[in-house]
């Protein structure tokens, strides 16, 4: 029991520490999309006018499933931590603050945190997402920064 409380306090401390280093708010637990993610993510709407702009925060080890943005696009602006982006058929790409990723219409991909780092990006997204299979654990666990 004491060990569990310690672990919860530790997780809260890690989140607070991450937030202190970030410009944009972490926001609320990303419950609406949780079934399309492995691990815990958070979502903060920055603007929903004209095009959706969201700050997305991933706890260490968290990543979204493979997905496609149909009839649209996605631009990711990396603002914190270390993470990954991968398009189907290509190697995974290590991400750090300042990196910009442009995903074109119809391209299957995933994005998320490194195993041992919080990760944060702003996502500017247009179109309709199609959610696909999770990123396999054995593949993800084998990724190295």
Contacts with Mn ion, residue ranges (CB under 5 A)? 74
Nearer to Mn ion, 17 or 70 (CB): 70
Distance in Å, CB of 139 to Mn ion, minimum:
18
Map residue 28 onto helix, strand or coil: strand
Distance in Å, CB of 109 to Mn ion, minimum:
6
Distance in Å, CB of 77 to Mn ion, minimum:
13
Question: At a CB cut-off of 8 Å and minimum separation 6, what does 60 contact?
Answer: 39, 113, 114, 115, 116, 117, 118, 119
Nearer to Mn ion, 19 or 39 (CB): 39
Nearer to Mn ion, 74 or 86 (CB): 74
Q: Residue 130's CB: how many other CB atoms inside 10 A? A: 12
Of all residues in the shown chain, the one whose CB is closest to Mn ion is 74
Q: Residue 133's CB: how many other CB atoms inside 10 A? A: 9
């Amino acid at each position: 029991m004491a060990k569990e409380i310690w672990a919860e306090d530790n997780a809260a401390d890690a989140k607070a520490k991450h937030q202190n280093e970030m410009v944009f708010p972490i926001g609320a637990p990303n419950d609406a999309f949780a079934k399309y993610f492995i691990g815990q993510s958070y979502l903060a709407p920055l603007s929903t006018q004209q095009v959706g702009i969201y700050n997305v925060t991933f706890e260490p080890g968290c990543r979204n499933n493979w997905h496609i943005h149909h009839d649209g696009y996605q631009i990711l602006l990396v603002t914190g931590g270390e993470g990954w982006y991968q398009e189907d058929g290509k190697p995974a790409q290590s991400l750090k603050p300042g990196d910009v990723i442009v995903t074109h219409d119809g391209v299957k991909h995933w994005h998320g945190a490194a195993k041992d780092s919080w990760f944060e990006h702003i996502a500017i997204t247009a179109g309709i997402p199609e959610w696909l299979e999770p990123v396999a654990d054995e593949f993800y666990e084998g990724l190295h920064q």
